[in-house]
Structure 1
Amino acid sequence: MSMEQQNRTVCVTGAGGYVASWLVKLLLSHNYNVVGTVRDPENEKYAHLKKLGDEENQLKLVKADLLDYQSILAAVNGCHGVFHVASPVPSSSVPNPQVELVEPAVNGTLNVLRACSASNIKRVVVVSSVSAVMMNPNWPEDQVIDENCWSDADYCKTTNNWYSYSKTVAEIEALEYAKMNGLNVITLLPSLVLGPMLQQAANASSLVLINLMAEGYEEIENRPRPIVDVRDVAEALLLVYEKPEAEGRYICHSHHSSNGEMVDILRKHYPNYRYPKR
């Protein structure tokens, strides 16, 4: 591999996921060579990714597990940058959150960062979540929630918000590791990610909408919903990767909505479903 090719080669973890698939598509359109980690490169659920690659083998899918350090090390070796997108996103409650959410999020992220250090990766972009900033009951009510706010890990645990807990702890560990080891790490924190899908199976984000249509709720809490388009998230990931001055945390959010507003929009376009009352 020439030096120019190596400088245009990046790894995307969890390449078959909702956000990662759009990121892979965007990277390929910008003439990057992409190494995408997946659980099984031969699985048909990754067929949408294989259609994105071209005859010049811009896209290479490799088998890797976040909890298997050697497989991650092999995947990132020879890359210039890494986008760590892979992380469990539950579509419902999980029986064992420590094993199913926390360990893959925290230990998986640290495995990726250690592999990046060992491989002299120049820049790492880690996908976190606004869940890592919004769960803080002690944040002043008259102060805008921004990148200076962190979710309270203990509060997340006591309220059984294990996804927020996993993303908060994983991001804290990532930035601390970067500081201690001189690794260039940026974190991006998207709000609820919606938009078109490249893969066939519904993802956890899309199920938020689907459940409003199909679950038959009588009523729903009209809670606020901060939303961002999946394509905007992909663009933001590439932007912070390419901008030399980018550093630290970046919230990625564009729209304020609510459960009630989403029900109204869905009812307008798909009137034949039974929708909950607002």
Structure 2
Amino acid sequence: MMSGEGEEKVVCVTGASGFVASWLVKLLLQRGYTVKATVRDPNSPKTEHLRELDGATERLHLFKANLLEEGSFDSAVDGCDGVFHTASPVIFLSDNPQEWYSLAKTLAEEAAWKFAKENGIDLVAIHPGTVIGPFFQPILNFGAEVILNLINGDQSFAFPYIFVEIRDVVYAHIRALEVPKASGRYLLAGSVAQHSDILKFLREHYPTLLRSGKLEEKYQPTIKVSQERAKSLGINFTPWEVGVRGCIESLMEKGFLS
């Protein structure tokens, strides 16, 4: 259902086939925006889920772009009222890809703030915790991998997570564009879930899925992150249990769990 906030407005979403970006494209289309979405290959099967979205036929345009090719985004961002930049170039030179992914995001933000200051661009940065929830892109996102590994008994993920539900993350992105006073950096910290909390939830609601009944009680520090600035955008955070349930349902639907 179109809400109308984005009627006659054009925005660009980079890295549109990813988890957050796919949901962002979906909700922007629902709000009436015309979306110019960049992907590495518009004809790839990895973009089919975007073409199937409501409103995609009329208001979604896919552009081929590569962050490592200067100028490849020019046609996609030209004439846009706003740009949602979710893509980051990552070249894996380590045994831990997540470290390089995080580094790429950090360096990209530093460069963005420098460029925005030098060119008078209105920039807002959104920093979510571990994003969790239902997904419809074909590739597993990090939050889904966390839940899948816990179900399979992987103890390496046994530490507190600051979860934030995917629709809260996407709504924050959209509000950052639509709220004139939005500025600076916003941390999105929905709620903290301990390793034991997640396993308890899984045992209560999905007992047949757990591959291991073992639960190691470990010291886990308490984490607190202010929600004040995020709530100034109108964000009311969703309980982590809702996000985990949505993630598990998607994992089962797509055959990652049975």
Shorter-normalised TM-score: what interval?
Answer: 0.7 to 0.9
Query: Normalising by structure 1, what TM-score?
Result: 0.68
Verify the 8 A CA contact 2:50 2:56 in the aligned structure 1. Answer: no
Match of 1:73 in 2: 74
C-alpha distance in 2, partners of 1:192/1:87? 17
Match of 1:83 in 2: 84
Residue 170 (str. 1) matches residue 167 (str. 2): no
Residue 182 (str. 1) matches residue 120 (str. 2): yes
C-alpha distance in 2, partners of 1:242/1:48? 26
Q: Runs of 5+ in structure 1 lacking a partner? A: 102-159
Q: What letter matches 2:169 in structure 1?
A: V
Task: Write the mapping of 1:52-201 to structure 2, written as runs, cut at 5 A.
Answer: 52-54=53-55, 57-87=58-88, 96-97=93-94, 161-201=99-139
Q: 1:185 to 1:65 in 2, by over 3 A?
A: same
C-alpha distance in 1, partners of 2:92/2:85? 26
Q: 1:165 to 1:56 in 2, by over 3 A?
A: closer
Verify the 8 A CA contact 2:92 2:100 in the aligned structure 1. Answer: no
- Percent identity, aligned pairs only, is 42
Q: What letter matches 2:30 in structure 1?
A: S
SS in 2 for 1:57: helix
Match of 2:29 in 1: 28
C-alpha distance in 1, partners of 2:160/2:56? 45
Match of 1:223 in 2: 159
C-alpha distance in 2, partners of 1:239/1:206? 25
C-alpha distance in 1, partners of 2:198/2:59? 38
SS in 2 for 1:69: coil
Verify the 8 A CA contact 1:35 1:75 in the aligned structure 2. Answer: yes
Q: Runs of 5+ in structure 2 lacking a partner? A: 1-5, 217-258
Q: Deviations over 1:111-157 (max 9, x none)?
A: xxxxxxxxxxxxxxxxxxxxxxxxxxxxxxxxxxxxxxxxxxxxxxx
Q: Deviations over 1:225-248 (max 9, x none)?
A: 101000111100000111111111
Residue 239 (str. 1) matches residue 175 (str. 2): yes
Match of 2:185 in 1: 249
Verify the 8 A CA contact 1:7 1:80 in the aligned structure 2. Answer: no
1:53 positional shift: 4.5
Query: Normalising by structure 2, what TM-score?
Result: 0.73
